[in-house]
Chains A and B, each alone.
Chain A
Amino acid sequence: MSTSTTLEPPHPVLPDATMLGRLLVIQQAIDAMPDEDHIAAFISRALASLPGVAEVHVHLDGQTVPPSQGMAALKSRCEEEALPVPVLNFMRHRGRGVQCFPIDEPGRRLGWLLLRLGDEEALRPYEPFLGNIAATLGRILCARHVQARLTRANDELREARDGLELRVAERTRELEYRATHDPLTGLANRALLIDRLRGAICSAQRDGRMVAVVYLDLDSFTFINTGLGSACGDEYLRETARRLGRLVRDSDTVARIGSDEFVILLAGLDSVERSSGRLNAMLTAVREPVPLGDKDAVVTCSIGAAVYPLDGEEAELLVRRANSAMLRAKSSGKDGIQLYASTRDAAVAERIELETELRRAVPAGELVVHFQPKLDLASGTFAGAEALVRWDHPRRGLLSPSHFIPLAEDSALIVALGERVLLQACLQARIWREAGFGDKTVAVNLAARQLRDARIVETVRQTLQTTGLEPSSLELEITESSIMHDIGHATQLLHQLKDLGVAISIDDFGTGYSSLSILRNFPADKLKIDRSFIQEIETVSSAAAVVLAVISFARALGMRVIAEGVETAGQAAFLQQHGCDEIQGWLVARPLPADQLMERFRLPVEMPWVA
Chain B
Amino acid sequence: MKDPERHICLGFTDEQYPAGTHICYLYNSDEERRQILPLYARQALLAHEAFNYVADVPSRAELPQALAALNLAAAARERPGQVGAAITAEGYYPTGQFSPDEMLARLRDAWTQCRAHGLAGARFAGEMTWALRGIPGTDRILECETRINELVKEAPMTIMCQYDLNKFDGAMLYDVMNAHPVVIIGGYILRNPFYQNYG
How far is A32 from B28 in the complex, measured between Cα atoms in Å? Answer: 7
Instruction: Pick the interface stretch among A5-13, A33-41, A80-88, A200-208.
Output: A33-41
Task: Please measure, in the bound complex, the distance between the C-alpha atom of A327 and the C-alpha atom of B194, giving whole angstroms.
Answer: 100
B-facing residues in A1-55 (Cβ within 8 Å): 18-19, 21-22, 24-25, 28-29, 31-34, 37-46, 49
* B28 contacts A34, C-beta separation under 8 Å: yes
Docked complex: B153-199 residues within 8 A CB-CB of A: 165-166, 169-171, 173-175, 177, 183, 185-186, 188, 190, 192-194
Q: Which of A18, A24, A34, A46 contacts B174 (CB 8 A)?
A: A46
Give every chain A residue within 8 A of B28 (Cβ-Cβ).
32, 34
Contact present for B170 and A41 (CB under 8 Å): yes
Count residues on chain B whose CB falls below 8 Å from chain A CBs: 19
Chain A-chain B contacts (Cβ-Cβ < 8 Å), number? 59
Measured between beta carbons, the chain A residues less than 8 angstroms from B171 are: 41-42, 44-45
Q: Are B186 and A28 in contact (CB under 8 A)?
A: yes
Alpha-carbon distance A38/B173, docked complex (angstroms): 9
* B32 closest partner in A (C-beta): A32
B27 to A: closest C-beta gap in Å: 9
Given A32-B26, A32-B185, decide whether A37 and B169 contact each other with a Cβ distance below 8 A: yes
Contacts of A42 in B (CB 8 A): 170-171, 173-174
Neighbour of B165 across the interface among A33, A43, A46, CB < 8 A = A33
Please give, as numbers and ranges, the residues of chain B lying within 8 Å of A22 by CB-CB distance: 193-194
Flag if A28 contacts B170 (CB, 8 Å): no
Question: How many residues of A are counted as interface, with CB atoms below 8 angstroms from the partner's CB atoms?
Answer: 23
Q: Are B175 and A45 in contact (CB under 8 A)?
A: yes
- Asked whether A32 and B165 contact (CB < 8 A) given A42-B170, A45-B175, the answer is yes
A28 near B174: Cβ-Cβ < 8 Å: no
A37 touches B193 (CB 8 A): no
Is the contact region of chain B dominated by helix, strand, or loop, or is it mixed? mixed
Interface-central residue, A19, A22, A46, by most chain B CB under 10 Å: A46
Name the A residues within 8 Å of B165 (CB-CB): 32-34, 38
Instruction: Report A263 CB to chain B, min CB distance, Å.
Output: 59
Q: Give A34 to B166 CA distance when docked, in angstroms.
A: 6
A372 vs B70: C-alpha distance when bound (angstroms): 87
Partner of A29, one of B166, B169, B175, B185: B185
Residue among A29, A37, A49 with most chain B CB within 10 A? A29
Most chain-A CB neighbours within 10 Å: which of B28, B177, B194? B194
A49 to B173, CA, bound (A): 14
Residue among B28, B171, B175 with the highest chain A CB neighbour number at 10 A:
B171
Q: How far is the CA of A509 from the CA of B185 in the complex (A)?
A: 89
A25 to B174, CA, bound (A): 11
CA distance in complex: A49, B183 (Å): 18
| A21: B residues at CB distance < 8 A | 193
Could you tell me if B185 and A46 are in contact, using CB atoms closer than 8 angstroms? no
B170 to chain A, nearest CB (A): 3
A31 to B169 Cα, complex, angstroms:
15
Given A40-B170, A42-B174, the answer on whether A32 and B186 have CB atoms closer than 8 Å is: yes
CB distance from B135 to the nearest CB of A (A): 22
Q: Smallest CB–CB gap between A65 and chain B, Å?
A: 15
Please give, as numbers and ranges, the residues of chain A lying within 8 Å of B185 by CB-CB distance. 25, 28-29, 32
Give the shortest distance, in Å, between B66 (CB) and chain A (any CB). Answer: 23
- How far does the alpha carbon of A57 sit from the alpha carbon of B28 in the complex, in Å? 24
Asked if B26 and A38 make an inter-chain contact with CB atoms under 8 angstroms apart, the answer reads no
Whole-angstrom distance between the Cβ of B180 and the nearest chain A Cβ: 12
CA distance A19 to B194 in the complex (A): 8
- Residues of A in contact with B (beta carbons under 8 Å apart): 18-19, 21-22, 24-25, 28-29, 31-34, 37-46, 49
22 pairs from A and B in contact (CB 8 Å cutoff): A22-B194, A24-B193, A25-B192, A28-B190, A29-B177, A29-B186, A31-B186, A32-B26, A32-B186, A33-B173, A37-B170, A38-B173, A41-B169, A41-B171, A42-B170, A42-B171, A42-B173, A44-B171, A45-B171, A45-B174, A45-B175, A49-B194
**9 closest pairs, A vs B, by CB?**
A41-B170, A21-B193, A42-B170, A32-B186, A45-B174, A38-B170, A45-B171, A22-B193, A41-B171
